[in-house]
Amino acid sequence: MTRYDVLVRGGTVVTPKGTTAADVAMAGGVVSALLRPGTDAVADRVVDARRRFVLPGLIDSHVHFRTPGLAHKETWTTGSRAAVAGGITTVVDMPNTKPPLVTPADAAAKHRDITGTSLVDYRFHAGVDPRRLEAVLDLSPRDAVTVKVFLCGHHTAPDVLRDPADLERLFRLAARAGLVLVCHAEDEATFALLDAWHGAPERSVHYEPRRPRTAAIIAVARLVELARRHGTRVHILHVSSREEVDLLIAAADAGIPVTFEVTAHHLTFTDADTVRVGTRLWLRPAIRDEADRDRLWRAVVDGHAFTVGSDHAPHTVVEKSLPGAEAPPGLPGVQELLPALWTGLRRHFGLSVHGALAVVRRVLAENPARLCGLVRRKGSVEVGKDADLVVFDPSRTRTFTSAEVHALCGWSAYEGRELDGGVDVVLRRGEVVHEHGRFGSPSGVWLDAAAPV
């Protein structure tokens, strides 16, 4: 009789081909077998998954864990705790830290800072130095296969490509190196014009009108044209409006290599919530209206949205309480990502359990792995891949409170909201890293990557 390290027994496994009743056997950190339920097998540890689903470990391809330089907002220890509490076993961290991650040396230094503190496996998005764009050619697949580009500045985005000639040159360089550009697509000049006309937003009722969709639509159109011209693969982050969605779907249908992300907070909230809640819901891009939210949901469900990310961007309560434009945009969300998506798929869109599971697998596992070059190891429950698993109870419901928050900031925009779905047990490479509120060892690793698929 074969002996395994871990056996997840009695669950319904979510696989690339659908759901199937199976016991998942693991050895050496990878999935060894999907066994018929009840097959005689022995293991050093058995995890009971009866009456629950077994998801692949989820990937959040858009987090700001604030390392290095901004540890008063978040640490890798607290950020990774929040992640695994929400079923996330791999994160891809953004480069706008202090100092920003631009070079291989920056990536190596960041890895040294993280080593021994992470419950999740991780990769990095590299950044761009406007003074030395050619630095992207020095990046190896381990350093990054994706490069983050800001088209507008804000509190934590110091390196912005403002010169159209620089942006076009970056597109040429990225195409040459086979890099994916992940883009914050808002036009800074548009905001400057509006601020000169009416002033920067000082009250929540003015926030969305003075940080409008116009800037996003202009920026997305510019990026689509550059992708068409140079063949550079582009992934647009946190799309917020129905016009952007339509433009990006049309571009993809025309063969232009563009994909896009939707965030859980743009799927959950509307601009009316921003007015009601205040600066905690001040984001870039801003949260739009109900019709925009509905269009985003349709894009997620019908497969046009490639990924759903958290854009986990915690700030302290004091920072978010600053007056007017001094309050930094962003909110925590890695822990809330799965339950927010699940709640919306079931309640807002009315999908069946199995339909919702298929969407979760696609946008939170399979496609993020493809985007970041991790499909050989991550993104699905298959023999030979990393044993990253989530034992998930779809029927659980609770009102989310600040007491549940593991992010260092200690607050959540979802406080007081009823959320569905319960994460019971999380395994990362066969090791239990979260189980009913208890955490495992911080032995997450820096992942190598192949070319994006």
Mean pLDDT of 161-180: 95
Query: Does position 158 have pLDDT exceeding 70, yes or no?
Result: no
pLDDT tens per residue across span 16-32: 999 999 999 999 999 99
Residue 325 banded pLDDT, cuts 50, 70, 90: confident
Mean pLDDT of 74-88: 98
pLDDT tens per residue across span 283-298: 999 999 999 999 999 9
The pLDDT assigned to 196 comes to 93
Residue 450 banded pLDDT, cuts 50, 70, 90: confident
Query: Does position 159 have pLDDT exceeding 90, yes or no?
Result: no
pLDDT tens per residue across span 407-422: 999 999 999 999 999 9
The pLDDT assigned to 64 comes to 98
Residue 110 banded pLDDT, cuts 50, 70, 90: very high
pTM for the model stands at 0.97
pLDDT tens per residue across span 231-246: 999 999 999 999 999 9
The pLDDT assigned to 152 comes to 86
CA dihedral 178, 240, 422, 392 (to 10 degrees): -40
Contacts of 17 (CB under 8 A, 6+ apart): none
